[in-house]
Structure formats: C-alpha cells, structure tokens
C-alpha cells in the first residue's frame, strides 16, 4: 500500500520499533485522523512532548519522562523531552542522554552506521560528565552491550540513583 498516495497526508518520518511502527504525519484536522483510521491503522498513542510550563525546565521530571518514553522505545520523544532542560543548563551528561535516544532512533530508521556514530558519542559524553539520577556505570555497560548487539535496552529501577518515584 502506498500510504502517501492513499491518505494524501504528509509523511515526515517512519520508525520501526520491536513492538510498534511510528509514523510521523502532518495532521491538521480530525478528518486527517479519520483518514488514517480508514486505512486500517490504529492510533495507539499520541505523545505530547511539550512539558507543562512549570515542569518544562524541571530536570528530575524531564529525566523521569525521558526514561518512561525510552523504555517504550519512543526514542524520538524521549530525546525531545530533555532538549529544553539541556538548553537551560547545558549539562553535557544530559546531552549524552539526548544523543543516546537519537542513536536508537537511527536503529528504528535502519541506519546502523549513524547508530554506531551516535552511541559512541553519547558514551563519551556520559562517561566524561555527571548524569543526574542515573547510575552512570550501569548505563555505560548497557550502552556497550547495545553497541555490540545493535539493540535497545531498558533503563530499569536498579539503574536509577536518586530519582523520586512518580
């Protein structure tokens, strides 16, 4: 099926995860949403990557949200939720987390060369800088394994240090 022709919607990007297919579309109306559903697709989840104004610069909240999205293999969205925090504090460890999520976006786009470059860069930034709320050594081991296998991993409870439970 040629989704672009059948729906007449602008496709921005397509990413394939282990459990779902992400299609970024330019959707302007409810009619556009109905077109998608009419093609047999089910809209599983719409992710709002804009944090509420009072939370958008809260580092702990943003990292908690990042981990949630990262573990759902919503890597693009995970990357985006940390951007505002990073722009405010310029923490290079947070930049490493952003690049880590971007690396896994490249796996979803079937671009293993870019994945390799990005995960190596993310590893450098995380190894050389503080990473708030996350056990850096455990994360680095998972990243090394992911580089070998070219597969995503989860950031689990034991990988966290001082983050509050939601």
- Going residue by residue through the chain, which has 166 residues, state the pLDDT in tens, using 9 for 90 and above: 555 565 666 666 667 677 666 666 666 666 766 766 776 666 665 655 554 444 545 888 899 999 999 999 999 989 989 988 999 999 999 999 999 999 999 999 999 999 999 999 999 999 999 999 999 999 999 999 999 999 999 999 888 886 554 4
What is the per-residue pLDDT for 52? Answer: 47
72, two tokens: 């759902």
CA atoms of 20 and 148, how far apart (whole Å): 23
- What does the longest C-alpha to C-alpha distance in the chain come to? 50
As given in the structure block, the two tokens for residue 11 are 């496709």
* Complete domains list, the chain, with CATH: 3-38 (no CATH), 59-159 (1.10.3450.10)
Task: Tell me how far CA of residue 117 lies from CA of 120, 124, 163, in angstroms.
Answer: 5, 11, 29
The structure's pTM equals: 0.76
């Amino acid at each position: 099926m040629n989704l672009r022709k059948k729906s007449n919607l602008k496709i921005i990007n397509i990413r394939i995860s282990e459990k779902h297919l992400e299609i970024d579309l330019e959707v302007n109306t409810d009619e556009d949403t109905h077109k998608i559903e009419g093609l047999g697709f089910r809209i599983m989840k719409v992710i709002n990557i804009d944090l509420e104004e009072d939370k958008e610069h809260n580092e702990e909240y943003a990292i908690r949200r990042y981990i949630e999205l990262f573990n759902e293999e919503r890597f693009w969205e995970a990357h985006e939720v940390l951007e505002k925090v990073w722009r405010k504090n310029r923490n290079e460890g947070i930049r490493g987390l952003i690049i880590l999520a971007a690396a896994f976006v490249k796996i979803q786009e079937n671009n293993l060369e870019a994945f390799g470059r990005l995960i190596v860069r993310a590893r450098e930034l995380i190894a050389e800088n503080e990473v708030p709320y996350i056990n850096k050594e455990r994360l680095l081991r998972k990243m090394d394994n992911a580089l070998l296998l070219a597969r995503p991993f989860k950031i689990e409870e034991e990988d966290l240090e001082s983050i509050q439970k939601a």
